[in-house]
Amino acid sequence: MLLRHARSLLFLPASNPRAIAKARTLPCDMVILDLEDAVADDRKAEALDRALEALGEGFGLRLAAVRINVEGAATHGREMIALKGTAADYVVLPKVEHPKQVKDVFSVSQKPVIAMIESARGVLAANAIAAGEGCAGLFMGNNDLRRDLGLPDNAGRAGLGLAMQTVVLAARASGIAVFDGVFNRLDDEAGLEAECAEGHALGFDGKTLIHPAQVPVANQVFGPDAQALADARRLIEAATGGAERFEGRMIETMHVEQAKALVARAEAVGE
């Protein structure tokens, strides 16, 4: 699966073997084995060992990624080196503020890097980060970004709006994938659905997640729905080139391209 087709990208602590086993049973498009904030300092080494073992066993058709620790952390260098030659599809690098951080991880791990944008500096550098060597995608890190911006935890996402749009713009300007941040409220399915819909409308390709119950919601919102897919197929069939009337609206070449992209996404995710 292409990165930009992923709808549901599930984080789990790499130190948790039950979560690793569970991930292999879930319809998520990417599994992200976390070595950073989900793992206590005294379990970092064990988490890396478990992540390498899990990559060896594989995750079926799901994309597999490992989030390593930040540049400067005691384990950062060892983690980058250990991932070289493994089955990881991507390395996720947290708290990126400069393209060189991505380039360095790419050159050591030899894996395409997904950069997490989680600070005011990161947002302001997002364009350069996205355009830099080795960068395959961007993740919003909204928990850390809230802290950096001084936004209250329960304040909704209005204060994150400009940052999210800046990150989407940066990714699109470089033609790379971009994913919304995690939703912390584990028992609020309606809230999750609303946030997925908001992220979809802002232009994110999919959503990063933290619990198995969140996977079907993200798949449903970010997967093309049956109606949109049927519309796209009719539009492709009807289009003859140039401006024309289609079911009461004007369509041109870009609408045909959009419809084809939607069909390709649906085929990629097996809808």
Q: Which of 113, 98, 6 is nearest to 67 (CA)?
A: 113
Distances from the Cα of 189 to the Cαs of 6, 36, 126, 262, in angstroms? 20, 26, 30, 26
Residue 67 labelled as part of a binding site: yes
Residue 118 labelled as part of a binding site: yes
With CB under 5 to 8 Å by kind, the binding choice for 105 among ligand LIB3CWND, Mg ion, none is none
Q: Parallel, antiparallel, or unpaired: how do β-strands 30-34 and 206-209 relate?
A: unpaired
In this complex, which beta carbon is closest to ligand LIB3CWND, that of residue 143 or of residue 166? Answer: 143
Helix axes 226-238, 253-268, angle to 10 degrees: 130
Residue 91 pairs in a beta bridge with 66, 113
In this complex, which beta carbon is closest to Mg ion, that of residue 183 or of residue 262? Answer: 183
For the chain, what is the largest distance between any 2 Cα atoms, rounded to a whole number of angstroms?
64
Residue 113 pairs in a beta bridge with 91, 135
Burial class (CB in 10 A: 0-12, 13-18, 19+), 148: middle
With CB under 5 to 8 Å by kind, the binding choice for 192 among Mg ion, ligand LIB3CWND, none is none
In this complex, which beta carbon is closest to ligand LIB3CWND, that of residue 28 or of residue 259? Answer: 28
With CB under 5 to 8 Å by kind, the binding choice for 215 among ligand LIB3CWND, Mg ion, none is none
Minimum CB–partner distance for residue 45 and ligand LIB3CWND (Å) = 18
With CB under 5 to 8 Å by kind, the binding choice for 182 among ligand LIB3CWND, Mg ion, none is ligand LIB3CWND
For binding to Mg ion (CB under 5 A), which residues are involved?
Answer: 118, 141, 144
With CB under 5 to 8 Å by kind, the binding choice for 159 among Mg ion, ligand LIB3CWND, none is none
210: number of Cβ within 10 Å:
17
With CB under 5 to 8 Å by kind, the binding choice for 15 among Mg ion, ligand LIB3CWND, none is none
d(CA 123, CA 164): 8
Minimum CB–partner distance for residue 154 and Mg ion (Å) = 18
Minimum CB–partner distance for residue 70 and Mg ion (Å) = 10
- DSSP assignment, residue 265? H
In this complex, which beta carbon is closest to ligand LIB3CWND, that of residue 203 or of residue 212? Answer: 212
Contacts for 3 with CB less than 8 Å, ≥ 6 apart: 63, 90, 114, 136, 137, 176, 177, 205
Minimum CB–partner distance for residue 267 and ligand LIB3CWND (Å) = 27
CB-closest chain residue to ligand LIB3CWND: 143
Which segments are annotated as binding site?
Answer: 67, 118, 144
Annotated binding-site members for Mg(2+)? 118, 144
